Amino acid sequence: MSSADITSNSQTGMIPLQATATNRELCPHNAKISCASCRLNKLCLPIALDNSEIHQLDNIVKRNRPYKKGDHLYRQDDAFESVYVVRSGSIKSYILSDSGKRRVTGFFLPGEIIGMDGIASKIYANSTMALEHSSICEIPFTQLERLSQQLPNLQHHFFAIMGNEIAKDQKIHTLLSSYTAEQRTASFLLGLSTRYGRISLSPTRFLLPMIRIDIGEYLGLTVETMSRVFTALQRKGLIAVNNREIELLDIEALRGIIAAS
Amino acid sequence: MSSADITSNSQTGMIPLQATATNRELCPHNAKISCASCRLNKLCLPIALDNSEIHQLDNIVKRNRPYKKGDHLYRQDDAFESVYVVRSGSIKSYILSDSGKRRVTGFFLPGEIIGMDGIASKIYANSTMALEHSSICEIPFTQLERLSQQLPNLQHHFFAIMGNEIAKDQKIHTLLSSYTAEQRTASFLLGLSTRYGRISLSPTRFLLPMIRIDIGEYLGLTVETMSRVFTALQRKGLIAVNNREIELLDIEALRGIIAAS
DNA sequence: CGTAGTGTTGAATTGAATCAAGTGTCGTGG
DNA sequence: CCACGACACTTGATTCAATTCAACACTACG
């Protein structure tokens, strides 16, 4: 698609973001890539490793064929085998509770690690599904443990990754327990912004890979509320929304919404 | 206190629970105890270790003098040094957000591990405070990592503990995002019940070590709502409450409340 | 014994859910 | 290439659960 195809939207004045220009371009679904050459190696497990260590890690990483939108990496109650790292695309994790209610427990972008909820019980607590065409590295956990035994750096880093997951979950805890719909949404958008920035995508302009229902189920809100909040934030000039396209127009003001007691 | 001193309560008919009969008796604040002789060693880190390994773990554990009610183990933004295990008593962790709001992020009973939120950032994300007179084992993390490098069982178990923390946090996530006040409270009480059972205390009859405000700040509810829910559950005959004393009268019905869509 | 902290209860308010009725968008098959 | 249908999203009206505000009772500790 050439730039001539880009037309501005009459309602919002936004220039459409194309997947080609963002996720897809940055994320080759190339199974032959190695950890050493992966563009995410400054985010992912190799970050703490030297070259020979990266090579050892590389040997245990399985690079399966890409997942199509809607494909599952694994399902709730499956036996825990591996953790997964997103190389390209995006993944959601969700839980079906006994009462049949669905809850989205997380979204995962390139460089982020999936499946740690199964480590303790040896059974995955979540199902995980590709939100779009996605390439994933699979790391069999037993082998990762064995390698961690040999590489102190890897052990240290994996402890850090898990600690990070714990700290992250506690932030969500706070978010859900005392923030308003608008604060949750602002926080969600700012979080995405940071994460997109980390993988060298625009932190102010991105495509939401998930539908509103998913965001709502993640933030503990209904679709209707999500829709109203997006509209309200747009009306206040803090964001521009056009379907899945989001532009953050006033990051400071978004931060202000969250800080407001 | 002799059994003659126990008088039934006129309102609830409950026989008062004394700290002496529960927490205190089971939890000697004895600093000279070793991991090998600790009654919690089937819950705590030693669970996966053989005798010689336990001895090595024992060598890195610091047993500080007991904490008094209100004492802090550490404060938010302190440099991360150690993880802590509750040997007796109970601890709460909480966060002060930028906007000055307080959130309780967890309660910790004997055998449970505190401080993993600091592993990634090397700074504690929470403050942690003793809810009552409590004995705590401190485990310097650098030494724990070094030992994990030598003892595969310890590494494996610590990965499991962190994985457990992650899975636990996700359950709270669900709790907060879609449960009613009554469901959250029922879930909270059943959770405590399980945890007290695990340390050989009554799963149906216990003293809440925390005040209502803390529970509310943990569950994302106000004190007033907490109070109303306790009253309502009591009126329905599911629990008996008398200040901090709780008796679960109908565990199945409490589970039913949570399951109700 | 008094005071600060904790807990309860009631009335009014409000933010988000629910119910309801649409419009918009995308992918598929004709 | 267009038409159709399914799904996604929006908007409005109403309801409801929990908060807020307010007053008061209990308890525990110095």
Using one digit for the tens of pLDDT, what is the confidence trace for B11-64?
444 555 544 334 433 444 555 679 999 999 888 999 989 999 999 999 999 998
Task: Measure B45 CA to nearest chain A CA, in Å.
Answer: 14
Q: Which residue of B has its CA nearest to A184?
A: B177
Looking at the fold, whether B145 and B203 belong to one and the same domain comes out as no
List the one residue out of B105, B106, B115, B110 whose CA is nearest residue B133. B110
Looking at the fold, whether B81 and B147 belong to one and the same domain comes out as yes
B98 touches chain A (CB under 8 A): yes
Mean pLDDT across chain B, nearest whole number?
A: 88
Domain for residue B164, yes or no? no
Q: Do A120 and B167 touch (CB under 8 A)?
A: yes
Confidence check: pLDDT of A21 > 60 = no
Interhelix angle B181-198/B152-178, rounded to 10 degrees, is 160
B contact residues 114-143, partner A, Cβ 8 Å cutoff: 116-121, 125-126
Statement: the CB of A244 is under 7 Å from strand D: yes
What's the average model confidence in pLDDT over B162-171? 94
Looking at the fold, whether B107 and B43 belong to one and the same domain comes out as yes
Looking at the fold, whether A74 and A191 belong to one and the same domain comes out as no
List the one residue out of A192, A245, A196 whose CA is nearest residue A23. A196
- Residue A45 and residue A37: Cα distance in Å, rounded? 13
Domain for residue B160, yes or no? no
Specify the 3-state DSSP secondary structure of A110.
Answer: coil
- Chain A interface disruption, residue of B81, B119, B150, most A CBs within 10 A: B119
Percentage of chain B lying above the pLDDT 70 cut: 88
Q: What is the pTM of this model?
A: 0.89
- What pLDDT was estimated at residue B33? 79
- What pLDDT was estimated at residue B8? 41
Looking at the fold, whether A94 and A146 belong to one and the same domain comes out as yes
Q: pLDDT, tens digit, for every residue of B97-144?
A: 877 789 999 999 999 999 999 999 999 999 999 999 999 999 999 999
Please name the residue whose C-alpha is nearest to the C1' of nucleotide D11.
A228
- Residue A97 and residue B178: Cα distance in Å, rounded? 11
What's the average model confidence in pLDDT over A216-220? 96
Backbone angles phi, psi at B69, to 5 degrees: -50, 130
Q: Which residue of B has its CA nearest to A162?
A: B162
- Residue A30 and residue A16: Cα distance in Å, rounded? 27
Domain hosting A208: range is 3-19+179-259
- Residues B29, B68 contacting (CB under 8 angstroms): no
Contact pairs from chain A to chain B, CB under 8 Å: 150
Whole-number Å distance, CA A182 to C1' C18? 19
- Residue A134 and residue A147: Cα distance in Å, rounded? 26
- What pLDDT was estimated at residue B4? 37
Task: Measure B146 CA to nearest chain A CA, in Å.
Answer: 8
- Residue A128 and residue A71: Cα distance in Å, rounded? 8
Closest nt to residue A242, judged CA to C1': D9
A252 touches chain B (CB under 8 A): no
Task: Measure A12 CA to nearest chain B CA, in Å.
Answer: 32
Assign A17 a pLDDT band (cuts: 50, 70, 90).
low
- What pLDDT was estimated at residue B20? 39
- Residue B236 and residue B257: Cα distance in Å, rounded? 11
- What pLDDT was estimated at residue B14? 55
Task: Measure B259 CA to nearest chain A CA, in Å.
Answer: 5
What's the average model confidence in pLDDT over B66-92? 96
Full 3-state SS string of A56-82: HHHHHCEECCCECCCCEEECCCCECCE
Looking at the fold, whether A8 and A44 belong to one and the same domain comes out as no
Run of H or E including A154: helix A152-178
Find the CB nearest A167 among B120, B163, B172: B120
Looking at the fold, whether B30 and B146 belong to one and the same domain comes out as yes
Statement: the CB of B181 is under 7 Å from strand C: no
B6 touches chain A (CB under 8 A): no
Q: How many domains does chain B have?
A: 2
- What pLDDT was estimated at residue A16? 53
Whole-number Å distance, CA A231 to C1' C19? 20
φ/ψ region of B20 (left if φ > 0, alpha if ψ in -120 to 50, else beta) reads alpha
Q: pLDDT, tens digit, for every residue of A125-168?
A: 999 999 999 999 999 999 999 999 999 999 999 999 999 999 99
* Contacts of the segment B154-160: beta carbons below 8 A, 24+ positions apart: B154/B45, B154/B48, B154/B49, B154/B53, B154/B57, B155/A145, B155/A148, B155/A149, B155/A155, B156/A145, B156/B48, B157/B45, B157/B47, B157/B48, B157/B49, B158/A159, B158/B45, B159/A119, B159/A145, B159/A158, B159/A162, B160/A119, B160/A120
Looking at the fold, whether A98 and A130 belong to one and the same domain comes out as yes
Domain for residue A31, yes or no? yes
Q: Which residue of B has its CA nearest to A106?
A: B170
- Residues B195, B73 contacting (CB under 8 angstroms): no
Q: Do A119 and B172 touch (CB under 8 A)?
A: no
- What pLDDT was estimated at residue B98? 77
- Residues A83, A59 contacting (CB under 8 angstroms): no
Domain for residue A77, yes or no? yes
Mean pLDDT across chain A, nearest whole number?
A: 88
- Token representation of residue B42: 């089937």
- Chain A interface disruption, residue of B166, B168, B172, most A CBs within 10 A: B166
Domain for residue B56, yes or no? yes
Evaluated on CA atoms B166, B167, B173, B176, the torsion sign reads: negative
Q: pLDDT, tens digit, for every residue of A83-97?
A: 999 999 999 999 998
Q: Which whole-number Å values give the CA distances from B108 to A11, A74, B40, B135, in the listed order?
A: 52, 32, 14, 12
- Residue B259 and residue A97: Cα distance in Å, rounded? 8
- Chain A interface disruption, residue of B116, B159, B185, most A CBs within 10 A: B159
Residues 174-213 of B with CB under 7 A from strand D: 180-182
Whole-number Å distance, CA B9 to C1' C10? 26
* More confident: B3 or A66: A66
Confidence check: pLDDT of A230 > 50 = yes
- What pLDDT was estimated at residue A20? 39
Looking at the fold, whether B8 and B31 belong to one and the same domain comes out as no
Looking at the fold, whether B141 and B201 belong to one and the same domain comes out as no
Domain for residue A44, yes or no? yes
CATH at residue A204: 1.10.10.10
Domain for residue A160, yes or no? no
- What pLDDT was estimated at residue A256? 94
- Residues A151, A56 contacting (CB under 8 angstroms): yes
Confidence check: pLDDT of B183 > 80 = yes
Residues of B in contact with A117 (CB under 8 A): 163, 166-167, 170
Q: Which amino acid is at A85?
A: V
- Residue at which a domain ends, from B121, B154, B187: B154
φ/ψ region of B13 (left if φ > 0, alpha if ψ in -120 to 50, else beta) reads left
DSSP B37: T
- What pLDDT was estimated at residue B91? 97
Statement: the CB of B150 is under 7 Å from strand C: no
Statement: the CB of B176 is under 7 Å from strand C: no
- What pLDDT was estimated at residue A238? 97
Looking at the fold, whether A90 and A134 belong to one and the same domain comes out as yes
Confidence check: pLDDT of A180 > 80 = yes
Looking at the fold, whether A90 and A197 belong to one and the same domain comes out as no
Q: Do B159 and A177 touch (CB under 8 A)?
A: no
Evaluated on CA atoms A110, A177, B114, B200, the torsion sign reads: negative
- Strand ordering across the sheet containing A62-63: A62-63, A135-140, A82-88, A113-114
Assign A250 a pLDDT band (cuts: 50, 70, 90).
very high
Domain for residue A165, yes or no? no
Buried b (16+ CB within 10 A) or exposed e, A34-59: ebeebbbbebbbbebbeeebbeebbe
CATH at residue A34: 2.60.120.10
- What pLDDT was estimated at residue B32? 66
